[in-house]
Amino acid sequence: MSSVSQLQSPTQDGTILAVNNIEVVFNDVILVLRGLNLTAERGKITALLGANGAGKSTTLKAIAGLLGSEDGEVSRGDIVYNGMNITQMPPEQRVRNGTFLVMEGRGIVHDMTVIENLRLGAFTQPQKNVAEDMEKVFNYFPRLKERTGLAGYLSGGEQQMLAIGRALMARPDLIMMDEPSMGLSPLLVKEVFGIIKRMNEELGISVLLVEQNANMALRAADYGYIMENGKIVLDGTADELMNNEDVKEFYLGGGGNERKSFKNIKSFKRRKRWL
């Protein structure tokens, strides 16, 4: 299991994203992230897990640069993407550099057709790429090809597919996904995760995955981080985390050797790092 010593320096090869000891403050008073460290490997799927309110989405927003519109800021530490310090970069520049966030709740534009939404995703791309990329999207999501009409009429699963397809249109190197399983049936969750895995393998896109559904996420991911109260408390390869007693108990359910009362559960018994 990893420890402080294993934190990679941003220049090291194979690291596409390194978040170094960031603090995020909202409205100048609310400290949400308190010194968070994580790295994402190039071409790998990294999962970020944690309970509600742990700060997972805030982490993604900090990486995508969206804190400004919610009165938040990164007050300490830095975010290094591809060897570039992007901590203060405006969000549209980050997109041009190859990061893309698939938002929680999909964030598709309801009043536009499917194709308009996809073209919107290709906003930063030259016109000549659009047709080719659209075929690529329909290859992954054949279902979208059959849907004409406004995107607001798509089902939840199709909207999620559209959101991921829209991300592909921007030709990103790193896709960040905020709860792709939200509101989907278990079967559809499986399908969506399968597609994420395929995209990762076939297109070599690195993925940073934020999830509540720890089981699905760890099965798809190569490496995982677990957050609590704005910090990483545990990290390791997906297999290690799956077999970790604490993770089983708190996130996967049914773990632990003996049945415990919730009264006795206050925190992790075996914390691995305090950063």
Residue 138: Cβ-neighbour burial (10 angstroms; 0-12, 13-18, 19+): middle
For other proteins, the closer of residues 121 and 230 by Cβ is 121
Nearer Cβ to other proteins (14/152): 152
Place of tokens 């009264």: 263
Shortest reach from residue 101's CB to other proteins, in Å: 5
Please say which residue, 148 or 261, places its beta carbon nearer to other proteins.
148
CA atoms within 13 A on the CB side of 257: 0
- Tokens representing 268 are 């992790």
Report the Cα 156 to chain-centroid distance in Å.
19
Shortest distance in whole angstroms from residue 103 CB to other proteins: 6
Q: Rank residues 97 and 237 by Cβ distance to other proteins and give the closer one.
A: 97
Per CB under 8 A, residues contacting other proteins are 64-66, 69, 90-92, 95-96, 100-101, 103, 107-116, 119-121, 123-124, 148-150, 152-153, 166, 170
Q: How far is the CB of 245 from other proteins (least distance, A)?
A: 38
Nearest-angstrom CA–CA distance, 225 and 50: 8
Dihedral, 65, 71, 72, 73 alpha carbons, nearest 10:
70
**Minimum distance, C-beta of residue 168 to other proteins, in the bound complex (Å):** 12
